[in-house]
């Protein structure tokens, strides 16, 4: 079993690279950190790689990249994948700051990139737009969330943080409540990608900024139940849902098995559980624009 420690970045295909890069840089507030082999790489203002943009005929999320403990031999990861009957390959310079990586595919064909060592690709720098702290998590619509949860737990070492009934699972690979989610939908597609903001004040500023750009909210603001993060959602030019969030639950000690106490929790301590459909702490119900991603 691979023991992932951190979500590094995600790769997105788009029919209009210039438009998508302009959104990520001028609206979301990432910095263009380099262009390599037709790929555009964008980093947070702290210099961490967050997004890779590639040219294609249709918009999609095609790769997820994760870091393991730097002392982990990549050869051991390949042996473990071979034992599970999963084909993999070694790549050099897969992305800026990542000298070596192992790449394979999950059951729906999304590339999974695993690496041990990474260096920041840019220093602290001013950015336009919102300016998130990091790439937080990513969710996919799939036909069978349990099937994918089982694969990610067995092969990649994820742990289940919460379920909403039997149709939405939240998985973690580090202290954050969720890193990868699977929600039941009528087609296999990215559901949303989420970026963490510093605090509620930055969420307010972000919504004012989106309003100044005539970008409507698809849902929010509100506070979720699973993860208890304050959230807001909008769509980018490729019609993909972007979440901006803050105050996500953290499990700082896996041996204790509960999330760091917060005053908005209804359970004390807050442990992984199955939620019913009345899952938000506060906020309006999901809008039709948000719900249509599953349909």
Domain membership of residue 129 (yes or no) is no
Taking only the tens place, the pLDDT of each residue in 216-266 is 999 999 999 999 999 999 999 999 999 999 999 999 999 999 999 999 999
pLDDT tens-digit map of 166-179: 999 999 999 999 99
Domain boundary among 85, 115, 145: 115
Q: Kindly tell me if the per-residue pLDDT of 40 is higher than 80.
A: yes
Q: What is the mean pLDDT of residues 55-64?
A: 96
Is the residue at 53 inside a domain? Answer: yes
Average pLDDT of the segment spanning 136-156:
98
CA 245/CA 72 separation, integer angstroms = 31
Query: What is the domain extent for residue 64?
Result: 4-115
Question: CATH number for the domain including 146?
Answer: 3.10.180.10
Residue 153 and residue 36 share a domain:
no
Q: Is residue 125 part of a domain?
A: no
The per-residue DSSP string of 175-241 comes to: SBS-SEEEEE-SS-EEEEEEEE-SSHHHHHHHHHHHHHTT--EEEEEEE-STT--EEEEEE-TTS-E
* 138 plus 57 within the same structural domain: no
Do 156 and 93 lie in a common domain? no
Q: Which of 182, 177, 171 is nearest to 265 (CA)?
A: 177
Tokens 């992305």 correspond to: 95
- Domain presence at residue 122: no
Predicted confidence (pLDDT) at residue 294 exceeds the cutoff of 80: yes
H helix intervals, the chain: 17-22, 74-83, 145-156, 200-212, 288-291
Say what the pLDDT of residue 182 is: 98
Average pLDDT value for the chain: 95
* 57 inside domain: yes
- Asked if residue 68 and residue 23 are part of one domain, the reply reads yes
Query: Residue 254's CB: how many other CB atoms inside 10 A?
Result: 10
Q: Look at residue 37 in the predicted model and tell me its pLDDT.
A: 74
Tell which residue, 189, 191, 185, 152, has the closest CA to residue 171: 152
- Looking at the structure, tell me whether residues 178 and 253 fall in a common domain: yes
As for how many domains the chain has, the answer is 2
Q: What is the pLDDT of residues 90-125, one digit of tens each?
A: 999 878 889 999 999 999 999 999 999 988 776 677
């Amino acid at each position: 079993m691979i023991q992932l420690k951190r979500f590094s970045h995600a790769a997105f295909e788009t029919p209009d690279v210039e438009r998508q890069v302009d959104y990520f840089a001028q609206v979301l507030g990432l910095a263009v950190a380099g262009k390599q082999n037709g790929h555009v790489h964008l980093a947070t203002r702290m210099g961490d790689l967050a997004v890779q943009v590639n040219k294609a005929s249709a918009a999609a999320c095609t790769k997820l990249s994760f870091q393991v403990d730097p002392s982990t031999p990549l050869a051991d990861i390949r042996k473990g994948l071979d034992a599970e009957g999963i084909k993999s390959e070694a790549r050099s310079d897969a992305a800026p700051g990542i000298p070596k990586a192992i790449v394979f595919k999950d059951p729906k064909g999304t590339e999974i990139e695993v690496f041990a060592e990474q260096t920041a690709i840019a220093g602290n720098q001013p950015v336009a737009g919102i300016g998130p702290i990091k790439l937080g998590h990513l969710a996919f619509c799939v036909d069978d969330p349990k099937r994918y949860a089982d694969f990610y737990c067995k092969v990649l070492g994820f742990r289940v943080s919460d379920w909403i009934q039997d149709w939405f699972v939240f998985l973690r690979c580090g202290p954050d409540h969720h890193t990868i989610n699977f929600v039941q939908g009528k087609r296999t597609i990215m559901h949303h990608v989420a970026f963490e903001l510093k605090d509620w004040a930055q969420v307010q500023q972000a919504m004012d900024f989106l309003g100044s750009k005539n970008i409507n909210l698809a849902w929010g603001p509100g506070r979720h139940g699973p993860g208890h993060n304050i959230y807001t959602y909008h769509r980018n030019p490729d019609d993909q849902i972007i979440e901006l969030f803050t105050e996500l639950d953290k499990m700082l000690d896996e041996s204790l098995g509960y999330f760091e106490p917060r005053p908005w929790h209804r359970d004390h301590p807050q442990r992984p559980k199955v939620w019913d459909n009345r899952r938000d702490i506060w906020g309006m119900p999901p809008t039709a624009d948000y719900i249509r991603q599953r349909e």
